[in-house]
Amino acid sequence: MRSGERLALAVILGLCVLVGGTAGATAYAWHRAGSVRIAIHETGPDGSDFSMRLPGLLVNAAIALCPVPEDAELKAHLAEIAPALREVASRLATLPDVVFVDVENDAGTVRVEKSGADLVIRVVSPDERVEIAVPVESVRRLMRKFEA
């Protein structure tokens, strides 16, 4: 193999490693950040379904980039409760899968649970079913943002 060919091969291999590594790292970060899911199902003949899944990576980026509203009262309130909420969010990450709140009556059920890396809120009523799942890591980042 001539030196020119060897150089080209080295460049191609280097590019492959670079692209592969970047893709792998992105996929890992994408998977690790989880996703925010919102699903609403209306029962009945005219009921509709709404489902949305946002990659946690985008949500975390939005949390990092979006400014906290410049409201003195809001900021003062956040400054008071944010440390405790951040502590709560940090502790959430270390807890096992568990149902925190489970309420059931004639009007329906409400359940708040930690499932895997997500905080999940499920509301079921005779008319509709709502499920919201938020990665605990995103909640923690949000609380840290409020505290900053």
Partner 1 sequence: MKKLLGCLVLAGFASGAAGAASSDRWIHIRVDDAGEAKGRVDIQVPVGLVSTLLPALQQSRGHGSIHIDGDSVDLAEIRSYWSAVREAKDGDYVTVRDEDSDVRVAKRGGYFTLTVDDKGGKSRVRMKVPLPLIDAVFDGGNTINFDAVGGALAKAPAGELLAVDDEDSHVRIWIDSEAAPARKDAR
Which of residues 83, 115, 116, 127 is near partner 1 by CB under 8 A? Answer: 83
Q: Is 17 in the site for partner 1 (CB under 8 A)?
A: no
CB of 32 to partner 1, least distance (A): 21
**Could you say which residues in the range 114-133 bind partner 1, by CB under 8 A?**
124
Smaller CB distance to partner 1: residue 59 or 89? 89
Three-class SS of residue 71?
Answer: coil
Q: Can you tell me the distance from the alpha carbon of 141 to that of 134, in angstroms, rounded to the nearest whole number?
A: 12
Query: Does 75 participate in binding partner 1 (rule CB under 8 A)?
Result: no
Q: How far apart are CA 139 and CA 145, in angstroms?
A: 10
> Can you say whether residue 116 is alpha, beta or left, with left for phi > 0 and alpha for psi between -120 and 50 degrees?
left
Q: How many residues does the chain have?
A: 148
111 part of the interface to partner 1, by CB under 8 A: yes
105 binds partner 1 (CB under 8 A): yes
* Integer Cα distance of 33 and 42 in angstroms: 29
User: Is residue 87 involved in binding partner 1 (CB under 8 A)?
Assistant: yes
Shortest approach of partner 1 to residue 38 CB, angstroms? 21
Task: Report the Cα 107 to chain-centroid distance in Å.
Answer: 29
CB of 37 to partner 1, least distance (A): 20
d(CA 22, CA 76): 41
Stretch that binds partner 1, among 18-26, 39-47, 109-117, 132-140 (CB under 8 A): 109-117
